């Protein structure tokens, strides 16, 4: 009996040791998934009644390209970001904390509509959250 319990514990510990979380970039669906994610976010934020006006004069192709580039390295995709840093990109906009939160809410809705699992959404948002202070009140 003891040897059976010991064997079971060994198997369980072995399974725990070999279980690794999927790289976020892969969980997002790689390049195609990130592109789908960015398209969903760009559409949702542009159409949002609270923050859509912030994107009225935005070059959507440029915005989508830079957002894809931004998400790729944050999710360990091995890409490089060529755009402005977050402070420069948002300089002069004086975005409020409420507007930042509205962007996050719109992004979460977009990810849900696009079929991204809540766990994947949370992993991405956790990596983007530290950028908050680089975005608001710039």
pTM of the model: 0.82
59 three-class SS? coil
**Would the CA dihedral through 131, 62, 96, 43 be positive or negative?**
negative
Give the model's pLDDT for residue 7: 47
Give the model's pLDDT for residue 20: 75
What mean pLDDT do residues 19-41 have? 94
* Number of domains within the chain: 1
Give a yes or no: residue 45 inside a domain: yes
CATH of the domain at 49: 1.10.490.10
Q: What is the mean pLDDT of the chain?
A: 90
Q: DSSP string covering 79-132, please?
A: ----S--HHHHHTTT-B-HHHHHHHHHHHHHHHHHTT--HHHHHHHHHHHGGGH
Which of 50, 60, 44, 62 shows the shortest CA–CA distance to 116? Answer: 44
Percentage of the chain with pLDDT > 70? 86
Give the model's pLDDT for residue 3: 56
Interior CA angle at 131 toward 96 and 86, to 5°?
80
Give a yes or no: residue 75 inside a domain: yes
Domain housing 104: 23-135
pLDDT digits (tens, 9 = 90+) for 43-87: 999 999 999 999 999 999 999 999 999 999 999 999 999 999 999
Give a yes or no: residue 82 inside a domain: yes
pLDDT at 9 over 50: no
36 three-class SS? helix
Do residues 87 and 134 make contact, with C-beta atoms less than 8 angstroms apart?
yes
Give the model's pLDDT for residue 6: 46
Interior CA angle at 105 toward 135 and 79, to 5°?
55
């Amino acid at each position: 009996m003891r040897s059976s319990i010991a064997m079971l514990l060994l198997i369980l510990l072995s399974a725990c040791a070999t279980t690794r979380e999927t790289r976020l970039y892969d969980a997002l669906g790689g390049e195609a998934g990130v592109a789908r994610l960015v398209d969903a976010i760009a559409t949702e934020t542009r159409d949002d009644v609270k923050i859509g006006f912030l994107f009225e004069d935005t070059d959507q192709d440029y915005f989508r390209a830079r957002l894809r580039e931004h998400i790729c390295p944050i999710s360990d995709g091995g890409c490089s970001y060529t755009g402005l840093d977050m402070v420069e990109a948002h300089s002069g906009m004086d975005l409020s904390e409420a507007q930042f939160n509205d962007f996050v809410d719109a992004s979460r809705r977009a990810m849900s509509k696009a079929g991204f699992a809540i766990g994947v959404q949370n992993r991405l948002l956790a990596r983007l959250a530290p950028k908050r202070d680089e975005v608001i009140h710039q």
